[in-house]
Structure 1
Amino acid sequence: MKTKVAIIGGGPAGHLLGQLLQNQGIDNIILEAKSKEYVLGRIRAGVLEQSTVDILREARVHERMEREGLIHEGFKLFFKGRSERIPFKELTGGKIMMVYGQTEITRDLMDARETSGATTIYEAENVTPHDFHGGSPRVTYEKNGETHEIHCDFIAGCDGFHGVSRRSVGAENITEYEYAYPFGWLGLLAEVPPVSDEIIYCHHEDGYALCSMRSKNRSRYYIQVPIDEKLEDWSEERFWAELKRRLPTEVAQRLITGPALEMSIAPLRSFVCEPMQFGSMFLAGDAAHIVPPTGAKGLNLAVCDAKTLFDALEDFYQTGSRTKLNDYSATCLDRVWKAARFSWWMTTLFHKLSDNPFHRKVQLAELEYTMSSMAAQAALAENFVGLD
């Protein structure tokens, strides 16, 4: 087979890149190791920056998002018995956030791709990129016991942290920066109305709590737990009781509980690799970087990577210039590191870092300063809604 762009990975980054390319008549093939049903069964966050909303509109996969997504113009903070609100729309010249699940975005992109007739190969085994440092890049894979080969101009590695793309580069050609936090998030998804119409961040002396939502009738709640915590030690009743204990009384009293659709524990870490391009292969999304979810940046960074790579590829096929392709890594990493910094800052601000009371005193001082300074609130809001 031949194509212009071989995309490894059928998550939101890979499917968005494929959709943008397809809209401009640039031939591409997506290779995904799992089945379509498996990909759509993965529960992920979905707090979208203004730029992500705009990019999905550009990709022409926005209609259901516009109908079902929940527009947020601010979020709430609780600490030391105080309730505050960051009105980020007012502080950023009108930018908003949209709550719309990553699974729904992926579904919309898959549906659009099927309508277009573009090729997606699910359950592709042993996918391997070759010769991306030379002039004849290709990708091999196995399907139904047979080996296949795709010759292409470029390879996009959108296959996540554990994918083959970054592993194929060789340790001597890449620098990795990583920090693992000593705690995780225990999350519960339930078919119940959200406790608030806006996201709640709660700083508590015993650990962070977050109240979020997926829709007007589906809620997602998280509490901080030690990194060695076991999911089997947590019943639904224990989770709801602990969440209520960490929330302010007036919030806990109106919390509606229900059976869990899903419960899981996610470790928190920061990871960035440099560079993000290797000859004719480009990394995008979790293949190149991971941020803790506190700042709601992971999906948004993946979308921006896909858009940046699309812009560079479109420019190449229109003009023959490789300038934007050569600048891809530097362009993406500028935004990635700023998002990594903000995610680290939000994580260290709201979570219990240790039993040392100095840490909490500094956190409370930072929160007090933020709420007393319009400049500090504007900086928080600017980073939260996403840097252009």
Structure 2
Amino acid sequence: MSHILVAVSGGIDSLVTARILQEEGHKIRAVHFLTGFQKKKPEKDMEELGKRLGCRIEIVDFSKDFQNHVIDNFVEEYRAGRTPNPCLICNPAIKFGSLMSVAEKMDCMAVATGHYARILPTEDGLAGLFRGRDKIKDQSYFLSRVPRYRLDNILFPLGSFTKEEVRQKAHIFKLEPLSEKESQDICFLPDGGYADFLETTGNIKPLPGPIVTTDGKVIGRHRGLHRYTIGQRRGLDCPGPAPYHVLALDTAHNHLVVGFREEMMASGCCVNNINWLMPLPSAALQITVKIRYRHQDVPATLIPEGNSRASVHFTAPQAAITPGQGAVFYHKDRVLGGGFIQEKI
């Protein structure tokens, strides 16, 4: 019987994932990968977790891949005035890229992770990506850029469970994670936050400049465009008749453009670099779309423009369309594809 490679972080989700597969009779190989941003060496912790799982946890170093694919992209996107979501890069490049290569070398037939999402057969006979049963923990948004051909060799054992059910299973299995804390959204950021990271690790030098309204009036000073994102209200320190929000990062002129909430609204957005998880559409589609992870997906019309571009037209205007963020397309629970927001319409 061929093995399944399980990515083990040390949290409750990856431990329960491994144990579920063991209970189902699968032989597993457990791997913990390094990104270069761990706060401490993991050898002792992985040895202890291996005892709890009854298998050895191998440690592989992906720090170069992580730097080249995730960190460099993160820094350059901010430098260009965009706001990236690094998980959208990490999943296809590292967890289901570099780790897939390790699985092949270990002669493992699949990679399993603790993501809350599901992979199910679709009408064209190929695997499709679907939301997890736990709609609060659902991570299908972050997985939308994993190539479809990879789905046949990926397992998400937690996709049909809620987080509470996973905790109950951990209790039944007598599995204790290294920490009870939930993993943070951006795993490599220090306590100082993303701006400090960009200035130290990313070597982005703060370049203060004017805060301007849409009619060009200067109303304040910003501390460097990389410290702001579309929709932001806090930290502007610009008094007005109503709260100001960030509308745009004008890198060409080093202007932070602000306005009132109604000026943030947009009827749609242009999306590029789309990863399709369905046959390439040839006509307009009625979809729902998430324009950031914490955003409730909303009805829209998707108009394809070639192989990897589309315009998305919302049924009702949406606020804070943010270049660099992911736009992920759904039909009910199925993920149809996802790309990066280029600009608002």
TM (norm. structure 1) is 0.23
Higher relative contact order (CA 8 A, sep 6+): 1
